[in-house]
Amino acid sequence: MLTIGSVQLQTPLLLAPIAGHCDLSFRILCREQGGVGLASTDLLNSRAILKSAPRTLELAATNEFDNPCGMQLYGNSEDPLPEAACWAVDHGAKLIDINMGCPVDKVAKKHGGSLLLRDCISTMKLTERIVDAVRAHSGGRVPVTAKMRLGWDAQHFVAPQLARDLESIGVEAITVHGRWTVQFFSGKADWDRIGEVVRAVNRIPVIGNGDVTEPEHVTALMRHTGCAGVMIGRGALRTPWIFRRAEALLTTGTASGEPTLLEKCRVIARHIELLQTYAPCERLAQHAMRGRIAWYGKTMGPIKPLKEAIRTANSLSAMAEAADDWIYRLESGDIATPEDSETNSRGIFRTA
């Protein structure tokens, strides 16, 4: 378990607030697979929240199946972040996270994200205002956390000192992505530097993030850095079951098995079903699933017919039919699994 302020998580495994991907449907999907201690919304613009911008309200949507839910806010000292944080408390957030790590230009060059790493004094003042507002509004029930990168570049390794200072004003946990802002997602995450942040704080948990795509990476990162938890981002896009497998590794010493092809097809079908239930826009949901099937396909072997069927489908219903057809054919033996010795040269259909 992992405790952040007054919030106790059932596992030390967190789903990252992945911009453009971490909608309610996907968060619920990952939770249903098992092992998720906390899942967070996509990053939310503080001004857009208070203006009730429809798209931002969609990103902030949560429900009883998405618990505990963190809401991640971004902005700078000129933005109404304390007020937006109080709004989030009122709308289901069990934890408020301040984005200090997004490297994307539209965020980091004007509105916040990694921009906050370039002026740590102003960032401290802003964060203290947020902490005070949330503490008063929630009666201390909702903790404030921060997600950061190591610094803007290798000449400005600010994360250890900033983490220590944030702890002193009441921030209850720090997540560190082991890259510089200028790296975006290139190169290799520096786990050594994450370890320096762990050693810089006194009592609050530090959560490691970066280059975690297999269950074994979770235990390796925790051993290497001493971090109290691990946040998984892009690795979850292709394997939303990674949390379940990693939790088994942490608790028993052995990762649970990789899902079969049939089980993975059922996950895809469930993802489509959740989009049908929760996605506010059919067109955007179709677009999301077309992108996601490419991620899923990275773990499924030669499934080009399924990928093409979903990519060319003109509705979520048609996508669901394509997934259900594959499930039926796998169950009836019409499609060979990767473990099937009778697989033909194309690696898909059973030989006659």
Q: Give the pLDDT confidence of 58-83 residue by residue, as tens digits.
A: 999 999 999 999 999 999 999 999 99
Question: For residue 215, which of 228, 232, 198, 193 has the smallest C-alpha distance?
Answer: 232
What CATH number did the domain enclosing 60 receive?
Answer: 3.20.20.70
Quick one: 175 and 213 in the same domain? yes
Over range 41-57, report the average pLDDT. Answer: 95
Residue 181 and residue 61 share a domain: yes
Is residue 95 in a domain? yes
Of 228-242, 250-264, 328-342, give the lowest mean pLDDT range. Answer: 328-342
pLDDT of residue 106: 76
User: Is 227 found in the same domain as 278?
Assistant: no
CA dihedral 99, 83, 21, 197 (to 10 degrees): 20
Query: Does residue 246 sit in helix, strand or coil?
Result: helix
Mean pLDDT, range 252-280, rounded to an integer: 96
Residue 301 maps to a domain? yes
Pair (10, 48) in one structural domain: yes
Count how many domains the chain has.
2
CA dihedral 190, 191, 197, 198 (to 10 degrees): 180
Residues 71/40, Cβ–Cβ less than 8 Å = yes
49 and 111 belong to one structural domain: yes
Is residue 337 assigned to a domain?
Answer: no
The pLDDT, as a whole number, for residue 111 is 72
Q: Say whether both 273 and 206 belong to one domain.
A: no
Distance separating alpha carbons of residues 59 and 71, to the nearest angstrom: 10
Domain span holding position 113: 2-252
Q: Indicate the residue type of 47.
A: R
Query: Do 20 and 152 fall into the same domain?
Result: yes
Asked whether 9 and 38 are in contact (CB, 8 A), the reply is yes
DSSP per-residue codes, 83-101: HHHHHHHHTT-SEEEEEE-
Same domain, 113 and 210: yes
Angle between helices 316-332 and 304-312 (to 10 degrees): 160
In the listed set 221, 252, 283, which residue is the last one of a domain according to the structure?
Answer: 252
Q: Is residue 342 part of a domain?
A: no
- Nearest residue to 336 via CA among 307, 311, 303, 296: 303
Which residue is catalytic, options 69, 86, 102, 120? 102
CA distance 231 to 28: 16
**Domain shared by 274 and 140, yes or no:** no
Whether 272 and 174 map to the same domain: the answer is no
Compute CA distances 4 → 64, 143, 221, 231, whole Å: 20, 7, 19, 14
User: Which pLDDT does position 351 carry in this prediction?
Assistant: 30
Give which of 98, 237, 117 is closest to 172, Cα–Cα.
Answer: 98
Q: Identify whether 343 is part of a domain.
A: no
**Within-domain flag for 352:** no
Are 147 and 38 members of one domain? Answer: yes
Single-letter amino acid, residue 65: F
Partners of 177 in the β-ladder: 149, 209
Q: Mean pLDDT throughout 227-249?
A: 97
Q: Are residues 141 and 189 in the same domain?
A: yes
Q: How far apart are CA 96 and CA 307, in angstroms?
A: 37
Instruction: Return the residue matching tokens 């810089």.
Output: 200
Q: Is the pLDDT of residue 206 over 50?
A: yes
Is residue 193 one of the residues assigned to a domain?
Answer: yes
42 domain-assigned: yes
Whether residue 30 lies in the annotated active site: no
